[in-house]
Amino acid sequence: MNEVDFIQSLAAQHGASKHPQVVLGIGDDAGILRLRDSRDVVLTTDILTEGVDFTFPEADPFSVGRKALAVNLSDMAAMACRPVAALVGLVIPQTIREGGLAGITESIMEGIATLANTWSVALLGGDTNSWAMPQGTVISITIVGEPFPGIRPVTRSGAKPGDILLVTGTLGGSIYGKQFHFTPRLREAEILARSTNITAMIDLSDGLAKDARHIATASDVQIQIDAAALPLAAAAGHDWKRALTDGEDFELCFTCAPDAAASLLQEQPLAPLLITKIGKIETKSGSGSPLHIKHPDGQVEQLNLSGYEHQWSEA
């Protein structure tokens, strides 16, 4: 079972959508809870594990701590919501950290605290523990946020046929450095949501091919990405496939009506950060993959994710 299927089965079995105070349940970048005074609280958790998301000693603990918070802030940005506070869970293995345990824990917490300070996010609490399993360090952060005043949270499910697909910044090659030093697009998300009727949004964590697919599935539409239009980061070389698959770009991918997209593209309200049109939303046709790629030669290919990974990982 892959992660998407697992989350869908979780949502089906344990989804709190029937709870009267749940506004948005499992399956988006964050969940939304309505308190009894009618205010909404936005919540999301992300976990980083050593060996998968980072490796010591190649990565320094400060940067790892920073990233652990940054990925959560990026999820808040994807909802166009404002982070307020964070809860940190930190687990360090006893065996391999003897002697250096305090130093690593302190550096990770420093990385978290420094970024929290930048965004006026309160470190509200959490838990630190060690474990007897030698596999590595685990950092879990939960963010508590709220909608920006006057802005409705943006979900993944509002894209409509005819909408345009856009992205902030450049894509690909994040592994060469950006993955640890990216700026969560909180300000940009607020500016976009204030100026434009954004119909759907997601942050690019798993790679455009997977993340755009999340929008397509949640919105029950089909998405066509124009390979020739993808804004490539210098670190991606000239390989547009890297923009689709590399992951950890932590840029915003969003949809809006064509006239709204035309204004954004002309006015570029996030300058010097560029907004680029990378595709369009279509009515779903058939039961195949909802993601289609228009190759630079004009040929359109239905992108079946597993086939795609197989096909291009060997290239």
Contacts to Mg ion from residues 78-137, by CB under 5 A: 78
Q: Is 206 in the site for Mg ion (CB under 5 A)?
A: no
- Residue 113 phi/psi, 5-degree rounding, is -65, -35
Instruction: Report the nearest approach of Mg ion to the CB of residue 79 (Å).
Output: 9
Instruction: Give the binding range for Mg ion (CB under 5 A) out of 133-141, 160-168, 195-203, 284-292.
Output: 195-203
Region binding Mg ion by CB under 5 A among candidate stretches 70-78, 90-98, 111-119, 193-201: 70-78
User: Binder to Mg ion among 75, 188, 206, 248 (CB under 5 A)?
Assistant: 75
The smaller minimum CB distance to Mg ion, of residues 211 and 226, is found at 211
Cα angle 64-68-69, degrees, rounded to a multiple of 5: 125
DSSP run (H or E) holding 311: helix 305-313
Question: Which is nearer to Mg ion, 72 or 170 (by Cβ)?
Answer: 72
Query: Interface with Mg ion includes 29 (CB under 5 A)?
Result: yes
Measure the CA–CA gap between 314 and 140, rounded to whole angstroms: 33
Residue nearest Mg ion (C-beta atom): 29
Comparing CB distances to Mg ion, the nearer of 27 and 279 is 27
Told to check if 203 binds Mg ion by CB under 5 A, we report yes
When asked if residue 53 is in the footprint of Mg ion (CB under 5 A), the reply is no
Q: Which positions touch Mg ion (CB under 5 A)?
A: 29, 75, 78, 203, 205
